[in-house]
Amino acid sequence: MKTFQARFVVYGRGADADGFLFWRDVRTVAPGEREQFLPGYFADVSGGCVFLFDRRVWNSMEHTIFDPNHVRCEVDSIGYALGMLQEVALRLPEPGEHIVPSAEMLSVRLTHVAPDLITIAGLNVQGEIRFPVETVSLTRFAGQLRSATRSFTRVARAELRRRLAALPREQRPSAEQQNRELINQFTAVADRLGDLTKGQAAQNPQDHVAE
């Protein structure tokens, strides 16, 4: 079984030498760059979760080796990523097959195939396979999504603090409200994924992989 990892990426409004848009692992965005990568209302920014199998980018037709500073992938907005994570956290504890929207024209199919084991497939809008079927421990899948989510919330909180500190006091409430609510929703998802990880580890201690 291939090694699974998840990363959260954001788009910095740039293109590479070949003219292709690319994203950055949110953990590589330095404090001085955060305003560029998280302008305005965070939910509208392009970004989301990248899935890696043996360090190759799964949600990309190129399946290149992951470069945290130059990620070509198919994701949507940060707000869409939140919806995907909420659906995963809600549905994943239930056995069976679950199809979760992951971008405007893409979805992820998660199928329980054994205790603490799921398959993941990427589907296009017609329900056809776009990204290959891979197998991953449910515990690891949830734990990696939690880790990626927490990476985003750490960066978002820091940027929001910097932004609010630079504003006159009377302008802070309106600037804070929407982004604070979004960050809190991501935090709640990370907590639910953490609970799922702990639950699976308790049921299958021999299969648990520490994150």
**Tens of pLDDT along 109-146?**
999 999 999 999 999 999 999 999 999 999 999 999 99
**Segment holding 192, helix H or strand E:** helix 172-203
pLDDT digits (tens, 9 = 90+) for 134-188: 999 999 999 999 999 999 999 999 999 999 999 999 989 988 999 999 999 999 9
What pTM value is reported for the model? 0.91
Contact 66, 24 (CB under 8 A): no
Q: What single letter denotes the amino acid at residue 51? A: F
Measured distance CA(89)–CA(98) in Å, rounded: 11
Residue-wise over 64-93: b if at least 16 C-beta within 10 A, else e? eebeeeebbbbbbbbbbbbbbbbbbbeebe
- What are the residue ranges spanned by the domains of the chain? 4-80+137-207
